[in-house]
């Protein structure tokens, strides 16, 4: 399961929403990207909250199931299954699933940890991923009202970096509606809300006053991620409610809705790119801001010593 077919996984998982008891069959599971893994975790957390019974089946014979365990899927779901591997293997090319920090906790240390698994030398790719993950995690906070999960992985053989963030919260449309966002319009669809959230300077909470005066959100995170992933010729997918969006490189994005009323209650964001495509993080930031109109004329030069 990769970024481009993540929505197929979510489509299948949605079958569980109408069931009282769910068996997740691992017999033919080979590989999931971090976006798929955190989506499964968020989905099961949602089922747990609504009192559904669920279980993993046919995992004992599947040699790939150890990877799910090593990614701490079972631990974070409270599932105590025997492990047939050493947890001190020395491998540092992935970061197991962790919870997105609460709003009073700094996302910086987790962003750095996720980034270091891809670029342990802390070069351009490290800083790009720091930026991307630190922008992605607060989105999960903002739309979740529930729990958010994040993970990252680096495939050395193909030099591919992957991250995934998912939550089991209210989703993007409901975030616009429940926060009485000026961007919300009566009758707005989830697809319209998802496409709106990807635009620069759009956020469901940027109009709100907080205990600290201004809202911390200016609505730049998702749009910057989108541009940075396009510049890296990578893939990015965003799913919320009944709608999905997928971008590959600089091709025109695709988007649509799940069929048969299926949905993902919450939001999933997954991204992947080749490390070899990242050679100048600063230049990428500049180009992304220019493209999005987020770089107004510099009229503040005198404030820099």
Q: How far is the CB of 103 from other proteins (least distance, A)?
A: 5
Q: How far is the CB of 288 from other proteins (least distance, A)?
A: 10
Q: How far is the CB of 100 from other proteins (least distance, A)?
A: 11
Counting other chains too, the contacts that 99-102 makes at CB distance below 8 Å and 24 or more residues apart are: 99/147, 99/148, 99/149, 99/150, 100/137, 100/140, 100/141, 100/144, 100/147, 100/148, 100/149, 100/150, 100/165, 100/167, 101/137, 102/141
What does residue 166 show for φ and ψ, rounded to 5 degrees?
-145, 150
Query: For residues 102 and 156, which CB has a smaller minimum distance to other proteins in the complex?
Result: 102
Q: Is 294 exposed, middle or buried (0-12, 13-18, 19+ CB in 10 A)?
A: middle
Query: For residues 46 and 141, which CB has a smaller minimum distance to other proteins in the complex?
Result: 141
- Residue in this structure with the two tokens 């750095």, named with its chain if needed: 112
Cα(176)–Cα(164) distance, integer angstroms: 23
Closest by CA position to 35, among listed 190, 267, 213: 267
Q: How far is the CB of 294 from other proteins (least distance, A)?
A: 6
Q: How far is the CB of 123 from other proteins (least distance, A)?
A: 11
Query: For residues 71 and 107, which CB has a smaller minimum distance to other proteins in the complex?
Result: 107
Query: For residues 96 and 216, which CB has a smaller minimum distance to other proteins in the complex?
Result: 216
Residues that bind other proteins (CB under 8 A): 103-104, 106-109, 111-112, 122, 127, 130-131, 134-135, 138, 141, 210-218, 220-221, 224, 281-282, 285-286, 289, 294-305
CB atoms within 10 A of CB 124: 17
Query: For residues 168 and 285, which CB has a smaller minimum distance to other proteins in the complex?
Result: 285
Q: How far is the CB of 297 from other proteins (least distance, A)?
A: 7
Query: For residues 252 and 300, which CB has a smaller minimum distance to other proteins in the complex?
Result: 300
């Amino acid at each position: 399961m990769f970024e481009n077919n993540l929505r197929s996984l979510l489509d299948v998982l949605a079958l569980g929403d109408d069931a009282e008891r769910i068996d997740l069959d691992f017999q033919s599971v080979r590989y999931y990207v971090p976006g798929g893994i955190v989506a499964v975790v968020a989905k099961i957390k949602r089922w747990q909250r609504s009192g559904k019974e669920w279980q993993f089946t046919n995992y004992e014979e599947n040699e790939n199931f150890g990877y799910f365990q090593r990614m701490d899927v079972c631990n974070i779901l409270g599932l105590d299954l025997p492990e047939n591997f050493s947890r001190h293997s020395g491998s540092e090319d992935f970061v197991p699933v962790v919870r997105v920090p609460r709003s009073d906790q700094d996302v910086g240390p987790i962003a750095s940890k996720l980034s270091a698994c891809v670029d342990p030398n802390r070069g351009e790719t490290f800083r790009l991923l720091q930026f991307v993950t630190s922008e992605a995690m607060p989105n999960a906070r903002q739309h979740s009202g529930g729990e958010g999960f994040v993970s990252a992985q680096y495939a050395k053989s193909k030099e591919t970096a992957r991250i995934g963030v998912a939550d089991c919260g209210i989703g993007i449309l409901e975030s616009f509606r429940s926060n009485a966002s000026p961007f919300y319009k009566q009758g707005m669809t989830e697809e319209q809300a998802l496409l709106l959230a990807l635009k620069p300077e759009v956020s469901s909470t940027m109009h709100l006053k907080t205990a600290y005066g201004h809202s911390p959100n200016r609505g730049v995170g998702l749009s910057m991620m989108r541009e940075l992933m396009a510049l890296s010729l990578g893939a990015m997918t965003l799913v919320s409610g009944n709608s999905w969006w997928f971008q590959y490189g600089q091709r025109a994005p695709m988007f649509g809705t799940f069929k048969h009323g299926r949905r993902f209650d919450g939001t999933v964001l997954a991204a992947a790119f080749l490390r070899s495509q990242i050679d100048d993080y600063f230049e990428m930031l500049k180009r992304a801001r220019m493209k999005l109109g987020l770089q107004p004329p510099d009229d503040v030069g005198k404030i820099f010593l």
